[in-house]
Amino acid sequence: MGRGSETLYWVEEGRIPDARRLRIKRAQKEAGCPPLIWRETSAEQIVLEAAAVLRAGGLVAFPTETVYGLGASALDESAVQAIFVAKRRPADNPLIAHIAEYGQMEQLCGHVPSLAGKLAERFWPGPISILVPALPTLPLQLTAGLPQVAVRMPRHDLARRLIARTGVPIAAPSANLSGRPSPTEAEHVVADLGGRIAGIVDGGPCQVGIESTVVEIVEGTVVILRPGRISKEEIEAAGFHARYDEGSRSGDKPRSPGQKYRHYAPRAPLYLICGTDPTAVREELLRRVDEARARGLRAAALLSGPGPRPDADLVIALSESGDAGEAASLLYGALRACDDADMSIVLVEGFGRQEGAVALMNRLGKAAEDRVIFV
């Protein structure tokens, strides 16, 4: 499928500043897709229209508190199949089913194991996806044939209203082309999927900025398959036993198929500079920026705290104060900015061991692959 189909673009009336409107139009032109069909109307009307498209088997990208999702009816086999085509997603990577209220679990899972139920009660709506036994009637591609289905109830109001109005669970991976950074603004979705999907709901920037924590319950323990905004410490503080999945670290056979793919990456090679002394990390970054530019490369520097400013072609402060949550919310936009500005090398400062940095470092590690420098 090319980029030739018409994509509806819903945005709340009076909610879109002119500068953002221009950025969206530029993204559309650069993507080479037909002009978007603008629908500026009330939130009520947006939910109504987008739900109708979803019910008819169409693909609609929508905002959640983590990243934008590419939605389709989770119970409609051909709609689910269309997600894989639009994203160019490998068929062995299952999707997360999104629900608006707990009662919708019935449509996905026969009996909810008690620990999964307790976890949901504590953290939903919110950025955590929980694996539960899948009903055998679900589309095969939703779970990639695995016995469990991942379920999440997002906290984002517009997302929940859209799912509720559609009346079925909504399958939604991140709304990017496979291998690209997840979209945290509607214009990122236009860049990747404009002309390839039926519609995009613009809800402004996503708050959290990285994808949900994915967990599985194994013998009374919450096993974290993908770290996210809800940390191991937070799960433990709520009275659960929790641990990270070893497979996802050693890389032999991750329990979450998505963990084995290179993700979250800009086009230019990304180098991650790590260390316990922020001054030494900054010094190494400055040195590498100068070295890259001396070789004629266009270098981007992504900073994780205060300190001397590098003389790079593009400098982005993920956080001025070293706050991992703030950095997470800006990370994917920054990686896309590196592509847009045609960088040939991206140098990023890592975050220390503070709580909340695990998910961020997981994503940075994947973007860097083996290009990690310890100082």
129 binds ligand TXA per the rule CB under 6 A: yes
185 binds ligand TXA (CB under 6 A): no
Closer Cβ to ligand TXA, 170 or 285, answer by number: 170
Which of positions 279-338 make contact with ligand TXA (CB under 6 A)? none
**Alpha carbon 273 to chain centroid, angstroms:** 23
**96: contact with ligand TXA by CB under 6 A:** yes
Tell me the number of residues near ligand TXA by CB under 6 A. Answer: 30
Window of 3-11, 53-61, 145-153, 301-309 that interacts with ligand TXA by CB under 6 A:
145-153
Look up residue 215 and give its two tokens: 């967990």
6 to 32, 38, 351: CA distances (angstroms): 12, 11, 42
- Determine the interface stretch with ligand TXA among 89-97, 103-111, 297-305, 322-330 (rule: CB under 6 A): 89-97
The interface partner of residue 162, options being Mg ion, ligand TXA, none and the CB cut-off 5 to 8 Å by kind, is none
Residues that bind Mg ion (CB under 5 A): 174
Cα separations (Å) of 53 from 58, 85, 96, 310? Answer: 5, 18, 19, 48
Tell me: does residue 58 bind ligand TXA (CB under 6 A): no
Does residue 183 belong to the site contacting ligand TXA (CB under 6 A)? no
Residue 174 binds ligand TXA, judged by CB under 6 A: yes
**Nearest to ligand TXA of 222, 274 (CB atom):** 222
Partner from Mg ion, ligand TXA, none contacting 299, C-beta within 5 to 8 A by type: none
Phi, psi of 198 (to 5 degrees): -75, -35
Nearer residue to Mg ion within complex by CB, 87 or 232? 87
- Asked whether 95 and 171 are in contact (CB, 8 A), the reply is yes
* Of the residues 130, 149, 198, 314, which one makes contact with ligand TXA according to CB under 6 A: 149
Binding pattern to ligand TXA, positions 10-49, x when CB under 6 A? ----------------------------------------
Minimum CB–partner distance for residue 319 and ligand TXA (Å):
21
Binds ligand TXA by CB under 6 A, chosen from 152, 188, 288, 363: 152
d(CA 350, CA 348): 6
Residue 319 binding target from Mg ion, ligand TXA, none, CB below 5 to 8 Å by type: none
- Tell which one of 150, 168, 335, 364 touches ligand TXA (CB under 6 A): 150
Instruction: Name which of residues 98 to 117 contact ligand TXA (CB under 6 A).
Output: none
Q: Binding partner of residue 232 among ligand TXA, Mg ion, none, CB under 5 to 8 Å per kind? A: none
Strands 199-202 and 213-218, sheet pairing: unpaired
How far apart are CB 345 and ligand TXA at their closest, in Å? 26
Rg (CA), the chain: 20
| One of 256, 304, 329, 362 touching ligand TXA (CB under 6 A) | 256
What is each CA distance from 221 to 107, 116, 230, 243, 359, in whole angstroms?
25, 10, 16, 7, 19
Residue found under tokens 């490998």: 90
> Using CB distances below 5 to 8 A depending on partner kind, what does residue 94 bind out of Mg ion, ligand TXA, none?
ligand TXA
Whose Cβ is closer to ligand TXA: residue 256's or residue 362's? 256
Least CB distance from residue 375 to ligand TXA, whole Å?
Answer: 31
Binding site for ligand TXA (CB under 6 A): 64, 66-67, 69, 93-96, 127, 129, 131, 143, 146, 148-150, 152, 172-174, 211-212, 214, 225-226, 255-259
